[in-house]
Chains A and B, each alone.
Chain A
């Protein structure tokens, strides 16, 4: 077993095809997917817009930051997308064509995302692009996708307020992530007062705005403080003192990236025990805990749609295949799972449309169901977001989460929520 492990850590370039195929045996569900398209249709029928499609291959782009500050977060997405594409190729590809990947590095730099997106669309004629992570990178690349009529699968949970024909949002928009978890904390913990701490950019600000409206108008609670810090900020002592003074029922945190490490360590150092003080975060996944340290955040509640510890056959097969490809030590966060959905949703939309043409694929997307998703069942809404469940889980010292609440129904995505703007 130990030898096996060191083999797998060589990454995807090692001659792993066979092992991978065996891992795939654990994905019986995938075999149920439509096989109608296995006899390849002629190119003229499936590609009328000059995309990079041959009789045997179709080109897809991956556009994430492999370098820079965001690399630590985006690497998981790259890995998930590569795994999904490898699995699709093992199954025979899309419309009988194997997927060829062109990977570009956004380098944690928003203009670079725009430049590389343009390269993938104009130079490489990619049929679809899996990519972008931060809102800023998406905002920079979006005009490029709209202008050159590309198709982007965007994996991150984000602030909403956006809907584009050229983007499929496989993460949650803000209301999907926030409302159900606030209802849960109000009911379960009897919470009335909230203190919000966030990083200073569009996603935390919009999320907190939605949370505040929900707290004040629906839950009839109070917000006793709302504080923002620049990205990368590491001094949270002043806000922690304020929290101690105000004694809120719940700390509502959407601090992102490296700041998380400082925030949770300083909370602990200040003597705030998260097993007694309820903390609800919408920005910490297994990936972040890797940096924060399980001991520092144990007891906090996180709301996401996916946790690595989810117990269902789809997820168990997914986690096993992921670890086989990328090593035993890797952890899988919410966004990584959402990124994994992208290639599959694209494949199904293409097969439904019977064509790689972006307009037809976009039109066919609404209503696509993916029953084998690790998070469970998902479905694409006509507004190009996914129906998904909200889950709340408690952080354990091991770095994993224990799910304590799951919304009974799929929650409808609503990027422009009335009454929350």
Chain B
């Protein structure tokens, strides 16, 4: 009974598509190639430096949406506080960059040279202890992921061990996002306050403000994103992924089957936090600053919307959703500075009303069957008619 493949549950046997279970089905390979092609080839060829940098920024949100697909779509844990992890990752990176930009030489007009400018404005005369690790690049790169994951681990262990779940968990994550924002804003001598950490210049001597640096960072970002997609795909396909789906559908049955539900939930939540943190760090590198406006409730909910628009059960859909929403946001606001929010609101309502499964739903129901009609007859294993990983309801 512990093997979900043989589980009598309809929902499970539907979620587990085929018995031989390849890492990726042909359809998914096509989706991956399409996405990689667009991100790494088509967009860089089509767009100028400015627009490409914008796409790079959007793609950093896609990391968060990707994490939400695993955490919310598969494991059924809705987190309205992903901005916390995005922000922590981003702040870790920003602290390193800020220290590098605040060399004694650059800050000699301050009363205490060699510390970040906002500390000087707040009468702080020496570097606080928690800034010290960020003087080293390797340590920073580890902390970018480690700090948010450790924080996610603490929150999720505290809550899932006590079987707090569902709406309660969502509300608590939201509260944490609010608390962290207030903390960052309130401690402006240590964190830069509401202005955030601005005016970042170099990464280990490499000027990240140049166009060439932005170009390279875009590809690093794209590569990392595809790496994360593959990792998420691995989790999704593994036994672990099936247990997550089972948990989402009937948590008690999984628990009675002898699994430690809390442990799996903690894992899913930490994985989502790690993805978000990588996104946050890449955001800081590409945009050149970090501020508490990415940590709060509004951006956290916005990130859930990206996943919802893309389709919360589709890894690729999440990336497309993020790109679409942000592209709409930018172009609406450029064309209609006074009215664009209404346009964006309309888009969300339309998606939820007409395409409850998001972009991925449209793809699966309308495009995929047509594209793969031939492939189906050749390779029946692919079974494209079955919505893979879709919930039974």
Contact = CB atoms under 8 A, between A and B. Distances in A.
Interface stretch (B193-201, B314-322, B360-368): B193-201
A212 to B, nearest CB: 11
A205 B194 contact: no
A111 B287 contact: yes
Q: What band does the interface of chain B fall in when counting residues whose beta carbon is under 8 Å from A?
A: 35 or more
B109 interface: yes
Given A201-B195, A202-B193, A104 B118 contact: no
Interface string B320-338: 0000000000100110011
Contacts of A186: none
Given A143-B199, A200-B186, A416-B109, A115 B291 contact: no
A112 to B, nearest CB: 8
A127 to B, nearest CB: 18
Interface string A178-206: 00000000000000000000001110011
A326 to B, nearest CB: 14
A330 interface: no
Interface stretch (B38-46, B49-57, B229-237, B372-380): B49-57
Contact of A115 (B57, B182, B200, B338): B57
Interface in A135-164: 135-136, 139-140, 142-143, 147, 159, 161
A398 B270 CA distance: 57
A107 B298 CA distance: 13
B338 A201 contact: no
Contacts of A139: 195-196, 198-199
Contacts of B188: 200-202, 205
Interface string B116-136: 001001110000000000000
Nearest to A78: B337
B209 interface: yes
Q: What band does the interface of chain A fall in when counting residues whose beta carbon is under 8 Å from B?
A: 35 or more
Interface string A94-115: 0000000001110101111011
Interface in A188-229: 200-202, 205-206, 209, 228
B198 A142 contact: yes
A114 B185 contact: no
A103 B333 CA distance: 10
B196 A136 contact: yes
A112 B199 CA distance: 15
Contacts of A67: 337-338, 340-341
A106 to B, nearest CB: 9
B13 interface: no
Given A67-B338, A103-B337, A105-B340, A140 B289 contact: yes
Grouping DSSP codes into helix (H, G, I), strand (E, B) and loop, the A interface class, with mixed when no group exceeds half, is helix
A114 B289 CA distance: 9
A123 interface: yes
A142 B118 CA distance: 15
B111 interface: yes
A66 interface: yes
Interface string B144-165: 0000000000000000000000
Interface string A111-134: 110110011001100000000000
Contacts of B118: 202
A201 B288 contact: no
A201 B185 contact: yes
A421 interface: yes
A336 B338 CA distance: 19
A231 interface: yes
A230 interface: yes
Given A114-B288, A119-B50, A201 B121 contact: no
A105 B57 CA distance: 18
Given A202-B195, A230-B186, A143 B293 contact: no
A143 B333 CA distance: 22
A421 B124 CA distance: 11
A43 to B, nearest CB: 23
A202 B117 CA distance: 12
Contact of A136 (B48, B195, B199, B287): B195
Contacts of B48: 123
Interface string B286-297: 011101011000
B193 A201 contact: yes
Contacts of A159: 121
Given A200-B186, A202-B121, A205-B188, A66 B337 contact: yes
Nearest to B336: A105
B198 A105 contact: no
A105 B200 CA distance: 24
Given A114-B288, A421-B111, A201 B194 contact: yes
Nearest to A231: B194
Given A67-B341, A201-B188, A201-B194, A119 B199 contact: no
A159 B340 CA distance: 32
A104 B195 contact: no
A242 B330 CA distance: 47
The 4 tightest CB contacts between A and B, nearest first, are A105-B337, A201-B194, A122-B50, A136-B195
30 contacts: A66-B338, A67-B338, A67-B340, A103-B337, A104-B333, A104-B334, A110-B196, A110-B291, A111-B287, A111-B291, A115-B54, A115-B57, A119-B50, A122-B49, A136-B194, A136-B196, A139-B195, A140-B196, A140-B289, A142-B198, A142-B199, A143-B209, A161-B121, A201-B185, A202-B118, A202-B195, A205-B122, A205-B188, A230-B182, A230-B185
Given A67-B337, A118-B53, A231-B194, 20 more contacts: A67-B338, A67-B341, A103-B337, A110-B196, A111-B287, A111-B289, A112-B333, A119-B50, A122-B50, A135-B195, A136-B194, A139-B195, A143-B200, A147-B209, A200-B186, A201-B185, A201-B188, A201-B194, A202-B193, A205-B188
